[in-house]
Amino acid sequence: MADFKISELTNHTPASSDDMIINDNSTPSSPETKRTTVASLATIIGSLIGDTGGGENPGGGNNSFFDPIYFYDTSVKSASVPSGSGGIRNWHSMKKENIGMPEGANAAIMIHFMGSTFQPTATGSGSYRLYGDLETKLTGGTFLAGSTSAPSTIMGRVITHNVPVPGGTANLSRKSSTPNTKIDIITFAAEASLTFEIAFNISNQAPSNLTVGLGRVILIPFFSPDPTPVAAEINDGSGFYATDQDEYDQLVSQFLPLDTDADIAEDDGDYIRSDIFEILSLIESFTASYPAINASEIATEKEKLMLILTGAQTYSSVEETRGAVIGIRNAVYSYTITRFAFETAAGVSPF
């Protein structure tokens, strides 16, 4: 078997528009385009690992590829997600698929795409996060790239989103998008029927709007006397593997430790303190240069900040604390900063 490097595949230069590798950021194309694209991908892989027999003649060479099989879920789930650290299993699931493998094949390359977009809905400064995992359960075969002692039938990928929002910035327009792609090798018995169950699980999240989909899976069946070297080269290290649900859940807890309420509160507190110090630095710089301009108003706002910073003034929630600091920040801006002429001409409101 010839050496197979995934870099050779991803660096391949298309000879024409019909000879293109799938781009996970692309607009979903027609079935005809998908067939052409995947067939080209199979041809490229076949030439790299020594396909001399052709997909229709498994015995004619060392390694032979068959026509690609693809399925995709046109459903996209988009919904609001409350804040919490308890976990939401199967927040979104692709439809269950049963795929029969062609006669003569003993393995398949699996290429899986599933994107997600996270958009915080809480107002105010902070670091808004979502931790989750994309779980793929396989029946009728095993993931050859798995690192567990027994054959791996569940593969997972860590999904993380983090949207930092500076003080005073409206965060409703900020979001994080992650187009996840995973390539793996599946082995199976002759003429096996493979069943795929794919779910997006949430472990910990800030209040947000979350969108997950479209899910797409491409299978390229092939025959090889020994698929192991192919798996060793194609494994990108982005997945983790388990033999059952209990082992999978334990691995998720290792990769995505759930933040306690104390951890989250401390992180929020650090962010708010950083905002306060930023505002105090602005006040110090401005009053040193212009001590007579809006001196009384600025002193009042500084006193409000110091009361919050020292704990003399408290609020019932992190949202109320953030809101108070943002209000002070906006007031300080209005006393110390003016819009540029081009901003005013464009209709931008004063601070």
Q: Are residues 229 and 214 in the same domain?
A: yes
Instruction: Give the count of domains, the chain.
Output: 2
- Tell me, yes or no, whether 142 lies in a domain: yes
Largest Cα separation within the chain, whole Å, is 90
Q: Where are the alpha helices (DSSP H) in the chain?
A: 6-10, 31-48, 228-234, 245-255, 261-289, 295-310, 318-336, 341-345
Q: Are residues 88 and 213 in the same domain?
A: yes
For residue 311, the SS3 value is coil
Q: Are residues 182 and 214 in the same domain?
A: yes
Nearest to 72 by CA among 104, 111, 107: 111
Q: Are residues 201 and 279 in the same domain?
A: no
Give dist(CA 169, CA 123) in Å, integer.
Answer: 9
Give dist(CA 128, CA 172) in Å, integer.
Answer: 11
Q: Are residues 117 and 211 in the same domain?
A: yes
Q: 68 with 99: CB under 8 angstroms? A: no
Amino acid (one-letter) located at 33: T
Q: Are residues 218 and 245 in the same domain?
A: yes
- Tell me, yes or no, whether 30 lies in a domain: no
Q: Find the angle CA(19)-CA(20)-CA(24) to the nearest 5 degrees.
A: 160
Decide which of 212, 230, 258 is a domain's last residue: 258
Nearest to 242 by CA among 261, 229, 255, 257: 255
> What angle, 0 to 180 degrees and rounded to 10, lies between the N-to-C axes of helices 261-289 and 295-310?
160
Determine the structural domain holding residue 306 and report its residue range.
262-345
Q: 230 with 137: CB under 8 angstroms? A: no
Q: One digit per residue, pLDDT tens: the chain, 351 residues?
A: 333 333 333 333 333 323 222 333 333 334 443 444 444 455 445 544 554 444 443 334 466 788 889 887 777 888 888 877 667 888 888 878 899 999 999 999 888 888 899 988 876 666 788 888 999 999 999 988 765 566 789 988 888 888 877 655 544 577 888 888 888 889 999 989 999 998 899 888 888 889 998 888 889 898 888 877 666 666 666 778 888 888 888 888 877 766 677 777 787 888 889 889 999 999 999 999 999 899 999 999 999 999 999 988 888 888 788 888 888 988 999 898 888 899 889 988 887
